[in-house]
């Protein structure tokens, strides 16, 4: 069969109807898959070290994780005692940006504070 005959078949009403059904089916499948699988979330945590001042860590938690002073102090003390503390849970982009901002701020201030993100 030559190319002109194929083009004719591909545009017959029946062929167009099949094409429309296939497209609709694909769209529904994609929407169903998106509805069933929510995007992954990431926790952002601070790690303990022996040098970063407690007051600096409290200020960081307040500034980048929107915590009041009391909550920030509790998180900082938890990191100090147990080695690690979660400051919040975010989408991938937001978590990545938080880590970058915290690390940049800490390095500029000359502190070795570590901040990590982990899928929850």
Name the site residues for ligand TYC (rule: CB under 6 A).
Answer: 46-50, 52-54, 57, 76, 79-80, 113
**Phi, psi angles (nearest 5°) of residue 37:** -120, 95
**Phi, psi angles (nearest 5°) of residue 3:** -65, -30
What gap in Å lies between CA 78 and CA 61, rounded to an integer? Answer: 12
Residue 102 Cβ vs ligand TYC, minimum distance, rounded to whole Å: 10
DSSP-assigned letter for residue 59: H
Residue 91 Cβ vs ligand TYC, minimum distance, rounded to whole Å: 23
Nearer to ligand TYC, 37 or 81 (CB): 81
Nearer to ligand TYC, 79 or 99 (CB): 79
Q: Give the pair of three-digit tokens for residue 70.
A: 């009391």
In the chain, beta strands by DSSP E: 42-47, 84-90, 114-119
Residue 66 Cβ vs ligand TYC, minimum distance, rounded to whole Å: 17
What gap in Å lies between CA 80 and CA 68, rounded to an integer? Answer: 18
Nearer to ligand TYC, 80 or 105 (CB): 80
Nearer to ligand TYC, 2 or 68 (CB): 68
Residue 21 Cβ vs ligand TYC, minimum distance, rounded to whole Å: 57
């Amino acid at each position: 069969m030559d190319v002109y005959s194929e083009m004719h078949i591909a545009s017959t009403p029946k062929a167009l109807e099949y094409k429309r059904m296939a497209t609709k089916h694909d769209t529904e499948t994609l929407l169903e898959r998106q509805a069933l699988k929510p995007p992954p979330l990431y926790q952002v945590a601070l790690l303990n070290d022996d040098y970063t001042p407690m007051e600096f860590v409290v200020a960081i938690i307040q500034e980048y994780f929107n915590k009041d002073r009391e909550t920030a102090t509790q998180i900082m003390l938890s990191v100090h005692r147990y080695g690690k503390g979660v400051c919040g849970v975010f989408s991938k982009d937001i978590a990545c940006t938080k880590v970058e901002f915290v690390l940049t701020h800490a390095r500029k201030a000359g502190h070795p504070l570590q901040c990590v993100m982990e899928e929850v």
